[in-house]
Amino acid sequence: MINIAILGGSGYTGLELLRILSNHQFSSVNAVTSRQYAGKAVTEVFPSLRGFYDNLFFSDPAEFKGLKVDVAFCCLPHGASQEVVEGLLESDNRVIDLSADFRLHDPEVYKAWYGEHSCADILDEAVYGLPELHREAIKDALLVANPGCYPTGSILALAPLLRAGLLETGSIIIDSKSGVSGAGRGANLDTSYAEVAGGFKAYKIGCHRHTPEIDQELTSVAGSEVNVTFTPHLLPVARGILTTAYAELKKTATSKDIHDVYLEFYSKEPFVRLLEQGRFPDISQVRGSNFCDIGVFSDEKKRRVTIVSAIDNLVKGASGQAVQNMNIMFWLKEDTGLRTPALSI
Amino acid sequence: MINIAILGGSGYTGLELLRILSNHQFSSVNAVTSRQYAGKAVTEVFPSLRGFYDNLFFSDPAEFKGLKVDVAFCCLPHGASQEVVEGLLESDNRVIDLSADFRLHDPEVYKAWYGEHSCADILDEAVYGLPELHREAIKDALLVANPGCYPTGSILALAPLLRAGLLETGSIIIDSKSGVSGAGRGANLDTSYAEVAGGFKAYKIGCHRHTPEIDQELTSVAGSEVNVTFTPHLLPVARGILTTAYAELKKTATSKDIHDVYLEFYSKEPFVRLLEQGRFPDISQVRGSNFCDIGVFSDEKKRRVTIVSAIDNLVKGASGQAVQNMNIMFWLKEDTGLRTPALSI
Amino acid sequence: MINIAILGGSGYTGLELLRILSNHQFSSVNAVTSRQYAGKAVTEVFPSLRGFYDNLFFSDPAEFKGLKVDVAFCCLPHGASQEVVEGLLESDNRVIDLSADFRLHDPEVYKAWYGEHSCADILDEAVYGLPELHREAIKDALLVANPGCYPTGSILALAPLLRAGLLETGSIIIDSKSGVSGAGRGANLDTSYAEVAGGFKAYKIGCHRHTPEIDQELTSVAGSEVNVTFTPHLLPVARGILTTAYAELKKTATSKDIHDVYLEFYSKEPFVRLLEQGRFPDISQVRGSNFCDIGVFSDEKKRRVTIVSAIDNLVKGASGQAVQNMNIMFWLKEDTGLRTPALSI
Amino acid sequence: MINIAILGGSGYTGLELLRILSNHQFSSVNAVTSRQYAGKAVTEVFPSLRGFYDNLFFSDPAEFKGLKVDVAFCCLPHGASQEVVEGLLESDNRVIDLSADFRLHDPEVYKAWYGEHSCADILDEAVYGLPELHREAIKDALLVANPGCYPTGSILALAPLLRAGLLETGSIIIDSKSGVSGAGRGANLDTSYAEVAGGFKAYKIGCHRHTPEIDQELTSVAGSEVNVTFTPHLLPVARGILTTAYAELKKTATSKDIHDVYLEFYSKEPFVRLLEQGRFPDISQVRGSNFCDIGVFSDEKKRRVTIVSAIDNLVKGASGQAVQNMNIMFWLKEDTGLRTPALSI
């Protein structure tokens, strides 16, 4: 039985961890902290969990100096996360951090996008927790930096072609569309129902913080520098990210050729579903599940590919992937607690 | 040309007033105040108004001591409204107040539901601004208390039967469902997109503050005390209120009989549309318009009627009705600036 | 291992059965029929099931004369269902029928609401599959008539008070609001996205076919005739039914008194969650789950109660309840495959 | 007074024409045809129009041989439109055709994408009705081919840069996202509420029929051949198209440089609103209005621009633009009947 603590568990990633772990037979959630809700029953804040965590209460984070569990999921915002992760590691806790704090290996890059890092020296200890790329390293990791939601969808869409050396690396454009829950659980005019419903917009064009994360991983896969053009959009849905990626091929290839590259690359992956040629994913088909669905297309005349991926931003893009990482770290079957189909309607 | 000021104009009722008045040819908005946005262009806060109010800026409310216009629309929250209305009247401004502050005639009732009133003595000067019931009084009113959104839909649904003395007044049940904009424009977890989308719930069962307002007006129409059971619900839409009202008849009547009562009662109303027998309204058919659509049904065996009304909570339930009141006060054609069909899809 | 066939499995109840059964460890889906999709892979029609039923194809219903399984779920429309159920029973298949065909015990009532029944003689063999009322009878049933979605939410909301003899049975009003999936999977202008989104309406006022089903069960619980006023509404959500029920008490009672009645009545139920006093359900908190959440309120002055229930119409209101019935019929733990929390956002 | 007939007026473009024309003071709708609804009151099919067209009935198209009006709006599907347009012209009616039938000048291109054209000889008489590019030609046109919805948003986004000769014409990628009403009014599983709500997908990748239309107009503006990569997506909203266009610059330019190009190009346009630098459009800010909002961004390092445009697909993308064209054809002020702000929430 894996003993678990969830730090900062009153947001949507916390809710999703609890939801997923309620069906995970080899783990037990011992503690969930929340400054805001300390002392309140988890089921009071999250009524959907009634009947599952009836005796679990949010605890004050201050009580958890010296916490000792098998794994701590850190769901704090970036900045706040780095304040506690070092202490958790020193107390011999393995940590899966869902914030952005340990995803970037280069302290200079972190600083440029997020500001000063309080424990930049441990940045290179962290393993970037995308199992499809770093499964082996995750097994022994003490600190897993769980990938961002946009990067998960973007990297899985493009990695096979970059690994195969087929792309003009300067040509990559990633047009990504995310549901509102990606902005977190909180009071905010911009994400209020009346402002979002029936609307759709691009935001943070040219300056979204997930860009360097995507560049880092795609550069690593490609073996040469990749700098993508990345445009996020806000979808009027609660969950889901659809990523439409465009890139130029070094030489012409058919859709079938491209499809074969993906088929090979993802042949053993439990959570990547490559669609048949000519079919493309819909975020509704992965909602609530840990799957990443991918469809591919090649325009031979233009020597340009269009790759579409769909994930649930809160599952494969956050808490589901975190549990997948935990399963890998503890040598469990990788899909333990995660093998459920989407709630497609 | 009617000179207009809008106080507290950065919420949804302010936005709607501006939207509607942009097509009102006999009025001019001279000033819009907002503590939060003072100094900002109106079109920066409300980009949909670009091209219509390009030179209008939110002003600091403090600058408006001694304001003199033809009519001031007061869009402040209840409590804040009573602080300024007395001064506006003293400076000889006619006022249309969209808050709850002047809707209840009885200071004791106000106190019981909202707390102490700072100028309870002028409560009986205010005219309840529902044109279908109080058109004559509105004409000369110095202070119009614009009705609440739920009361507008509820009163219009039930007034004809109560006026006709057909109902058992103790039997009235009003099951009402409102879009999220009814909660106002602001940062609030409960009205955030992810919390509301795909959900639906009842709230404030037995204790919603619009209840005494409904009781007051229905009592007045009926000529004997009415105390309704009122249950509000939160719909996952931005706009619209559908009200399903149930009541027992003193004696049996067919749907046709009931329909005739409404036909007569509303025969000259420009904004009440009685649907044919057997048809019932949909909030989408009034969206963005000042109409109230009504459908009626009588279950002869049970001697019980079901009346359904639909309004746009921000238009007939707030700013549209406020403009309708202004038109009446200034002897304009009542539908000036308001005669537009709904955006039904 | 329970061998299962699903007849007419290409609609939403079929999809939901497959989704739920993918996590049911003691059963196996041997066959799914569909006239429309015969020969197609299940995962082609339902891409969310990729990775779960990759070798399952829709079969032509005609091939299934003489079918022999442990249990057949019949997801055909009413009318079509009665054509096949008799044959299934004759071949010694136990049947859980999700249509309306076997829910009404009285052939005259069936005829009045649906027309002639082709095998009215077996109507009284069917057990109405609401476990909370008929668990014992379900255990040995050969034919279970799975309840309608509205009736499930309505009956669970009112049964405790009627069983306790507390209600004026003539006073019951049920104002119910359902998501669009209740209308089934199909091409229909009335349920098209553009028509429904942002809208809300009542429909079939006074004439919805679920009314006699509610009356039958509530009459049976009350021990005296109940005839409810039932008004269905169409919510702009895919899933969920919220039911707001009103009734007059024979004698005054506090909310606490009423709450105690429900606490007692549902104390051992695995899928009914009674909320604390003062809290009311939201359909989002049961989405995708088999729970029915209930909140109660009593207005002592008016001697009137307001009871609110929430279910997922496709789960507790259809396929989840069908699996719950199967578990009971086969002496499994009643929540097998069903114990998952809602996807609340 | 302009006498108008609307052919095939029971779809969404017909509804929108009627809605807009209800506020157009210099025109009168004399006839609306519909095969499906012939004989029915327009307000029965479109209840939002109650009070506006109470005496207008759908007529059988067959009755309109020899129709003579000032202008006929043809809202028939492509293929059906070409069957009637020639006759209308022969009877000396000016025609604004909202189908795709007369948008492509080259019969070979039409044939390749749509099949044989029944009156290909008049293709070159038609004026492509995008006022921002072809205002002068529209004035005298007998037949205006009203642009497609995607092309309107795409062409307005890219025309200024192509006219200025700044783009690498082979580099253009258009990632476009449309609301569901773009698929028309009809019964269709793919556009049913439960299938669409909460979902999002790309479709017709590499093969959408609006591609040649975009290519034709951009080629004409650029003066050299343009072949775009165009990817449409289906948004879970009723209305609106957001287009995110990417292209490489021939030489580096700042966002300010790009902004200046648009400022100049659109300086006199009544319906194009160029947002301030750093701001980007939201479809909710144009909903129900005839505006096209545009925001621009240049990534100097990558020498790549990102241009975002937003329109209401049914207004500027269809019926609003059709009325704008009519105003031009009849020498009215171009914004007659069209100068209303969006219903932004």
Size of interface A-C (CB pairs under 8 A): 90
Structure tokens that stand for D85 in this block? 């347009």
Q: What b/e readout covers D97-124, taking b as 16+ CB neighbours within 10 angstroms?
A: bbbbbbbbeeeeebeebbeebebeebbe
Asked if residue B300 and residue B166 are part of one domain, the reply reads: yes
What residue ranges in chain D does DSSP mark as E strands? 2-7, 27-33, 58-59, 71-74, 94-97, 127-128, 143-145, 173-178, 201-202, 229-234, 241-248, 272-274, 292-299, 304-311
- Per-position DSSP letters for A223-252, written without gaps between them: TS----EEEEEE-SSSS-EEEEEEEEBSS-
Mean pLDDT of chain D: 97
Query: Checking DSSP bridges between strand C292-299 and strand D71-74, what pairing results, if any?
Result: unpaired
Q: How far apart are CA C74 and CA D304, in angstroms?
A: 57
- Identify the band that residue C329 occupies on the pLDDT scale cut at 50, 70 and 90: very high
Strand-by-strand arrangement of the C201-202 sheet: C201-202, C229-234, C173-178, C241-248, C304-311, C292-299, C272-274
Minimal CA separation from A259 to chain B, in Å: 35
Asked if residue A264 and residue A218 are part of one domain, the reply reads: yes
Specify if D27 maps to a domain. Answer: yes
Structure tokens that stand for B204 in this block? 């404030």
Asked if residue C161 and residue C102 are part of one domain, the reply reads: no
Structure confidence at residue B76 (pLDDT): 96
Minimal CA separation from A48 to chain B, in Å: 12
Does position D65 have pLDDT exceeding 80, yes or no?
no
Q: How far apart are CA A80 and CA A76, in angstroms?
A: 6
Looking at the complex, does the CB of residue B189 fall below 8 Å from at least one CB of chain C? no
Mean pLDDT of D39-45: 98
Does position B337 have pLDDT exceeding 90, yes or no?
yes
Residue with tokens 């429909």: C203
- Answer for the pair C218, C226: CB distance below 8 angstroms, yes or no: yes
* Torsional sign, CA B57, B61, B65, B67: positive
3-state DSSP call for residue B249? strand
Q: Which residue is closest to C45 within chain A, CA to CA?
A: A285
Specify if B138 maps to a domain. Answer: no
Structure confidence at residue B274 (pLDDT): 98
% of chain C residues with pLDDT over 90: 98
For an interface test with A, the pick among D154, D176, D196, D201 (most A C-beta atoms closer than 10 Å) comes out as D201
- Identify the band that residue C63 occupies on the pLDDT scale cut at 50, 70 and 90: confident
Size of interface A-D (CB pairs under 8 A): 141
Chain A segment 298-317 residues within 8 A of C by beta carbon are 314
Asked if residue D95 and residue D176 are part of one domain, the reply reads: no
Point out the residue among C280, C284, C299 whose CB comes nearest to the CB of B202.
C280
Asked if residue B159 and residue B77 are part of one domain, the reply reads: no
- Identify the band that residue C140 occupies on the pLDDT scale cut at 50, 70 and 90: very high
- Identify the band that residue A64 occupies on the pLDDT scale cut at 50, 70 and 90: confident
Asked if residue B164 and residue B79 are part of one domain, the reply reads: no
Specify if A141 maps to a domain. Answer: no
* Torsional sign, CA C326, C332, C337, C339: positive
Q: How far apart are CA D102 and CA D110, in angstroms?
A: 9
Chain B positions touching C310 (Cβ under 8 A) are 201
**Which residues, listed in sequence order, are joined to residue B185 by a DSSP beta bridge?**
none
User: How far does CA C61 lie from the centroid of its chain?
Assistant: 24
- Identify the band that residue B63 occupies on the pLDDT scale cut at 50, 70 and 90: confident
Asked if residue C97 and residue C182 are part of one domain, the reply reads: no
Query: Checking DSSP bridges between strand B229-234 and strand B201-202, what pairing results, if any?
Result: antiparallel
Specify if B130 maps to a domain. Answer: no
Mean pLDDT of B41-69: 93
Widest Cα–Cα separation across chain D: 63
Chains that touch D (3 or more CB pairs under 8 A): A, B, C
Does position A88 have pLDDT exceeding 90, yes or no?
yes
Does position B64 have pLDDT exceeding 80, yes or no?
no
Does position C3 have pLDDT exceeding 80, yes or no?
yes
Asked if residue C268 and residue C171 are part of one domain, the reply reads: yes
Q: Is residue A74 annotated as part of the catalytic site, yes or no? A: no
Contacts of D220 (CB under 8 A, 6+ apart): D133
Give phi and psi for B274, each to the nearest 5: -85, 125
Structure confidence at residue B66 (pLDDT): 76
Q: How far apart are CA B306 and CA B313, in angstroms?
A: 21
Asked if residue A153 and residue A111 are part of one domain, the reply reads: no
Asked if residue A189 and residue A84 are part of one domain, the reply reads: no
Q: How far apart are CA B120 and CA B116, in angstroms?
A: 8
Mean pLDDT of D118-137: 96
- CA angle A209/A213/A215 to nearest 5° reads 110
Q: Do A51 and C282 touch (CB under 8 A)?
A: no
Point out the residue among D180, D197, D237 whose CB comes nearest to the CB of C238.
D197
Specify if A337 maps to a domain. Answer: no
Mean pLDDT of chain A: 97
Chain D positions touching C312 (Cβ under 8 A) are none
Point out the residue among D23, D273, D345 whose CB comes nearest to the CB of B12.
D345
Asked if residue A115 and residue A33 are part of one domain, the reply reads: yes
Mean pLDDT of chain B: 97
Structure confidence at residue C64 (pLDDT): 73
- CB half-sphere exposure, B69, CA atoms < 13 A: 25
Q: How far apart are CA D235 and CA B210, in angstroms?
A: 37
Point out the residue among A175, A201, A238 whose CB comes nearest to the CB of D281.
A201
Which of D73, D93, D125 lies at the terminal end of a domain, its last residue? D125
- Identify the band that residue B104 occupies on the pLDDT scale cut at 50, 70 and 90: very high
Size of interface A-B (CB pairs under 8 A): 64
Contacts of B11 (CB under 8 A, 6+ apart): B75, B184, B185, B186
3-state DSSP call for residue D343? coil
The residue among A216 and D65 whose pLDDT is bigger is: A216
CATH of the domain at B37: 3.40.50.720
Structure confidence at residue D66 (pLDDT): 76
Structure confidence at residue A66 (pLDDT): 76
**Which residues, listed in sequence order, are joined to residue A243 by a DSSP beta bridge?**
A176, A309
- Answer for the pair B162, B169: CB distance below 8 angstroms, yes or no: yes
Structure confidence at residue C65 (pLDDT): 75
Structure confidence at residue A251 (pLDDT): 96
List pLDDT tens digits, range A287-334.
Answer: 999 999 999 999 999 999 999 999 999 999 999 999 999 999 999 999
- Answer for the pair C200, B283: CB distance below 8 angstroms, yes or no: yes
Chains that touch A (3 or more CB pairs under 8 A): B, C, D
Looking at the complex, does the CB of residue D181 fall below 8 Å from at least one CB of chain C? yes
CATH of the domain at B241: 3.30.360.10
Q: Which residue is closest to A345 within chain C, CA to CA?
A: C238
Mean pLDDT of C74-94: 94
Q: Do B233 and C244 touch (CB under 8 A)?
A: yes
- Quick one: C48 exposed, middle or buried, by C-beta within 10 A (0-12, 13-18, 19+)? buried
Structure confidence at residue D107 (pLDDT): 96
Mean pLDDT of D339-343: 98
Q: Which domain holds residue C246?
A: 149-313
Specify if D37 maps to a domain. Answer: yes
Domain count, chain C: 2
Q: Which residue is closest to A201 within chain D, CA to CA?
A: D282
- Identify the band that residue A65 occupies on the pLDDT scale cut at 50, 70 and 90: confident
List pLDDT tens digits, range D223-259.
Answer: 999 999 999 999 999 999 999 999 999 999 999 999 9
Q: What is the DSSP letter of A265?
A: H
Looking at the complex, does the CB of residue D293 fall below 8 Å from at least one CB of chain B? yes
Specify if D154 maps to a domain. Answer: yes
Is 0.90 topped by the overall pTM?
Answer: yes
Asked if residue C165 and residue C115 are part of one domain, the reply reads: no
Chain B segment 233-252 residues within 8 A of D by beta carbon are 238-239
List pLDDT tens digits, range A210-220.
Answer: 999 999 999 99
Structure confidence at residue A9 (pLDDT): 97
Chain C segment 37-56 residues within 8 A of A by beta carbon are 46-52
- Quick one: A335 exposed, middle or buried, by C-beta within 10 A (0-12, 13-18, 19+)? middle
Q: Do A201 and D283 touch (CB under 8 A)?
A: yes
List pLDDT tens digits, range D302-330.
Answer: 999 999 999 999 999 999 999 999 999 99
Q: Do B343 and D286 touch (CB under 8 A)?
A: no
Does position D276 have pLDDT exceeding 90, yes or no?
yes
Residue of B74, B75, B149, B292 marked active site: B149
Structure confidence at residue B288 (pLDDT): 98
- Quick one: A57 exposed, middle or buried, by C-beta within 10 A (0-12, 13-18, 19+)? middle
Q: How far apart are CA A140 and CA A135, in angstroms?
A: 10
List pLDDT tens digits, range D287-300.
Answer: 999 999 999 999 99
List pLDDT tens digits, range B230-254.
Answer: 999 999 999 999 999 999 999 999 9
Structure tokens that stand for A3 in this block? 């003993």
Ramachandran class of B291: left when φ > 0, alpha when ψ lies in -120 to 50, beta otherwise: beta
Q: How far apart are CA C120 and CA C106, in angstroms?
A: 9
Q: Do C231 and B244 touch (CB under 8 A)?
A: yes
ipTM of the shown complex: 0.97
List pLDDT tens digits, range A234-266.
Answer: 999 999 999 999 999 999 999 999 999 999 999
- Answer for the pair D147, D155: CB distance below 8 angstroms, yes or no: yes
Chain C positions touching A273 (Cβ under 8 A) are 50-51
Mean pLDDT of C165-172: 98
Mean pLDDT of A152-165: 98
Specify if B134 maps to a domain. Answer: no
Q: How far apart are CA C214 and CA C243, in angstroms?
A: 13
